[in-house]
Amino acid sequence: MAAHSHTPANPHTHANPHTHDGIDWSNRLTTFRRADELDAENRRVVARRLVRPLPETPTVVDVGSGAGGMAVALVEALAARGGGTVVLVDAVPELLDAATTAARAAAAYEPKPVHVRPVLADVATERVLDLVGPVDLVWAARVVHHLPDERAAVASLVDALASDGWLALGEGGLEPQFLPWDLGVGEPGLPHRLMAARAEWFVRMKQDIQGVVPLPVGWNVVLTDAGLLDVTAFSYLNDQPAPASSLVKEWAVEQLRWLAEVGADRLHPADRRTVARLLDPDDTAYVGARDDVYLLSASTIHLGRKP
């Protein structure tokens, strides 16, 4: 697929043919928007931290920008220190449109100019440097693990950095927890069985990526091998205890539906029946109306500086 600047509002309706993992990403837009909203304050803090060491009016790129939550945070962080440019790169037109609209809306509120440039591209087949030129910060969260050759993908991200530029790779952490162990319906322990089914799905999803190259090391090793200095990592919590906001409950319904979908053929029929009750708005066990739903997750950011 050829990369090009992309004008938002492109009416694609088909399942996405441009990524490598068989996931219909455009279908996930509402969920990503909710997750962005729930994580907005954390992302603001992270964005401010990441732009601090950058030169004046820097260029930063958000690779795999999803619904644009971090792009918005980066726009705000750049505006607070005099402006700059945020380039959004994504392979899915619907998501790129949404992220661009969100980032431009945030930029419009800022007194200092922050330019927002969307680029539609598959970063597994196109060099990020060719797409965006040398940049001061590459942010890539939860996208590299969807690419066939993760080491090659990281090398391409590092190539796109100017000297002294930073790579911030959002990968790993702790999967979100949101349900009590005993839900009062079905066998206790359903959250663990859902996570186990999801973990099996993830292995299968990775194995099914065409041309997949194993990555038998952790991200710090990948960043160091890619030639980065000062390699380190930090994690932040998203901790929203019960009784949670209606946004957390809506997110929990979506998350449970998604876990049940990806784990469907690995869950016991009795657990599938329990999930159906938990997802039924007319059932007393409905997750969207429970006061014991919460959100607890951790996200890890791996960092390295180009010499």
Ligand X SMILES: C[S@@+](CC[C@H](N)C(=O)[O-])C[C@H]1O[C@@H](n2cnc3c(N)ncnc32)[C@H](O)[C@@H]1O
Residues within the interface to ligand X (CB under 6 A): 19-20, 25, 32, 64-66, 90-92, 95, 122-124, 141-143, 146-147, 170
- The distance of closest approach from Cβ of residue 231 to ligand X in the complex, given in angstroms and rounded to an integer, is 20
Shortest-Cβ-distance residue relative to ligand X: 66
Q: Which is nearer to ligand X, 123 or 183 (by Cβ)?
A: 123
- The distance of closest approach from Cβ of residue 242 to ligand X in the complex, given in angstroms and rounded to an integer, is 24
Q: Which is nearer to ligand X, 131 or 253 (by Cβ)?
A: 131
**What does R_g of the chain's alpha carbons equal in angstroms?**
20
Q: Which is nearer to ligand X, 163 or 210 (by Cβ)?
A: 210
CA geometry: angle 88, 7, 90, nearest 5 deg: 30
CB within 8 A of 194, min separation 6: which ones? Answer: 256, 259, 260, 263, 267, 271, 275
CB within 8 A of 105, min separation 6: which ones? Answer: none
In the numeric block, which tokens belong to residue 85?
């440019």
Q: Which is nearer to ligand X, 34 or 290 (by Cβ)?
A: 34
Q: Which is nearer to ligand X, 199 or 289 (by Cβ)?
A: 199
- Residue 170 forms beta bridges with which residues? 141, 301
In this structure, the number of other CB atoms found within 10 A of the CB of residue 229 comes to 11
Q: How far is CA 134 from the centre of its chain?
A: 23
Q: How far is CA 179 from the centre of its chain?
A: 22
Give the phi and the psi of residue 27 in degrees, each rounded to 5.
-65, -20
CA geometry: angle 231, 234, 237, nearest 5 deg: 165
Q: Which is nearer to ligand X, 143 or 157 (by Cβ)?
A: 143
- DSSP label at residue 125: T
Q: How far is CA 43 from CA 71, 132, 215, 240, in A?
A: 9, 23, 28, 15
Q: Which is nearer to ligand X, 128 or 244 (by Cβ)?
A: 128
Q: Which is nearer to ligand X, 142 or 266 (by Cβ)?
A: 142
- Three-state SS string over 139-160 comes to EEECCHHHCCCHHHHHHHHHHC
- The distance of closest approach from Cβ of residue 13 to ligand X in the complex, given in angstroms and rounded to an integer, is 16
Residue 307, burial from CB neighbour count under 10 angstroms (0-12, 13-18, 19+)? exposed
- The distance of closest approach from Cβ of residue 62 to ligand X in the complex, given in angstroms and rounded to an integer, is 7
Give the phi and the psi of residue 5 in degrees, each rounded to 5.
-65, 140
- The distance of closest approach from Cβ of residue 66 to ligand X in the complex, given in angstroms and rounded to an integer, is 3
- The distance of closest approach from Cβ of residue 202 to ligand X in the complex, given in angstroms and rounded to an integer, is 12
Q: How far is CA 138 from the centre of its chain?
A: 14
- The distance of closest approach from Cβ of residue 164 to ligand X in the complex, given in angstroms and rounded to an integer, is 24
- The distance of closest approach from Cβ of residue 258 to ligand X in the complex, given in angstroms and rounded to an integer, is 12
